[in-house]
Structure 1
Amino acid sequence: MAASSTAQLLCANRPSVNRPSFLPNLPLLPPSPSSLFTSSSKLHVSGSRRSLSYCIKASSDDTSETSDVGEVFSGLKEKWDALENKPMIIIYGGGAALGVWLSSTVVEAINGVPVIPKFLELIGLGYTGWFVYRYLLFKSTRKELADEIEALKKKIIGSE
């Protein structure tokens, strides 16, 4: 197979081995695919589950996705360098991660008790029914809900 800088084409037959249904039908690749593809190549797979062969085509494009990732990381680095109180940000981030872990542990413990999850589902369904009846069923109450949401938005933004 001749390698070119702009495009390469590799076709492989799908094996006729009976696979379990949960395994995907993947194409056969040569022993060292890294020698065929460059780092700036995009991989295109064509074929279907019913076809007997797959064709893989790698081609270089002028637009690189790695430049987008580089721009994101450079933007994050600029924002990080602009921060004055970095240890406090790290402490807040660690506290948030600890809070998520702790709440996940509490929820798993509550789910371990057989009756509590069904009871909480019942409470959730009751509250949802009440909310629909109170705010969404009639036009006047929908208007009231919209006004309350707008007031909350103004309060959060600080324009009130």
Structure 2
Amino acid sequence: MNTVLARSAFTARAAAQARGVTALRPRAAPVAPRVSKARNVARRAGEESSVDVESIIADAKASWDKVEDKTTAIIYVVGGIVALWLASTVVGAVNSVPLLPKLMELIGLSYSAWFVYRYLLFKSSRQELVADIEDLKKKITGGN
């Protein structure tokens, strides 16, 4: 059986050369060096990460302790998760309607172009945008 395959491969190469086409030999698939990657992962696992998990947890606990009305905060978080799920469902439904996704992309691209022209293209409008953002941050945080 192997001789049949070898003959057919030889005749295919010979026929390709007769037509003036050089047949390329199939290359062997490269083998990834898995041992070095495994060693690298093991070595890095022993190193300290740049993220201090304990300080993040301590900050989260301190922030949670500052919250006076914990039930309202939990309701807001659950409401946000439900709103995110609902928005995902609506986007999935809109995405299944023919031509509507392309129309939405066109609307998004048009709005992005308008936003760049209105707020980002010129220096004075960028300064206006920064001032608007600072005002919004003051309103949200209640700062002066």
Q: If the TM-score is normalised by the length of the shorter chain, which range does it land in? A: 0.5 to 0.7
| Higher mean displacement: 128-137 or 113-122 | 128-137
Q: Answer 1 or 2: which has greater strand percent.
A: 1
Structure 1, residues 64-109: CA drift from partner, whole Å, max 9, x if none? 4499212221221222223221111111000001111100110010
Residue in 2 aligned with 1:119?
A: 103
Residue in 2 aligned with 1:87?
A: 71
Residue in 1 aligned with 2:129?
A: 149
- Higher relative contact order, chain-length normalized (CA < 8 Å, sep 6+): 1
Distance 1:149 1:26, change over 3 A: same
> In the aligned structure 1, how far is the partner of 2:120 from the partner of 2:44?
53
Higher Cα radius of gyration: 2
List, as ranges, runs of 4+ consecutive aligned residues in structure 1 with deviation greater than 6 Å: none
Question: Any conservation in 1 of the 2:119–2:129 contact (CA below 8 Å)?
Answer: no
Q: CA deviation at 1:148?
A: 2.2
Q: Answer 1 or 2: which has greater helix percent.
A: 2
Residue in 1 aligned with 2:15?
A: none
Unaligned stretches of 5+ residues in structure 1: 1-17, 29-42, 47-55
Unaligned stretches of 5+ residues in structure 2: 1-27
> In the aligned structure 2, how far is the partner of 1:67 from the partner of 1:118?
41
1:98 counterpart = 2:78:
no
Q: Secondary structure at the match of 2:40?
A: strand
Matched positions, count: 112
Question: Any conservation in 1 of the 2:94–2:101 contact (CA below 8 Å)?
Answer: yes
1:108 counterpart = 2:116:
no
Identity of aligned residues (%): 36
> In the aligned structure 1, how far is the partner of 2:69 from the partner of 2:87?
27
Q: CA deviation at 1:121?
A: 1.5
Summarize the alignment of residues 14-33 of structure 1 with structure 2, pairs less than 5 Å apart. 26-27=34-35
Aligned CA-pair RMSD: 3.8
> In the aligned structure 2, how far is the partner of 1:84 from the partner of 1:25?
55
Q: Secondary structure at the match of 1:114?
A: coil
Q: Secondary structure at the match of 1:150?
A: helix
> In the aligned structure 2, how far is the partner of 1:58 from the partner of 1:150?
41
| Higher mean displacement: 98-107 or 143-152 | 143-152
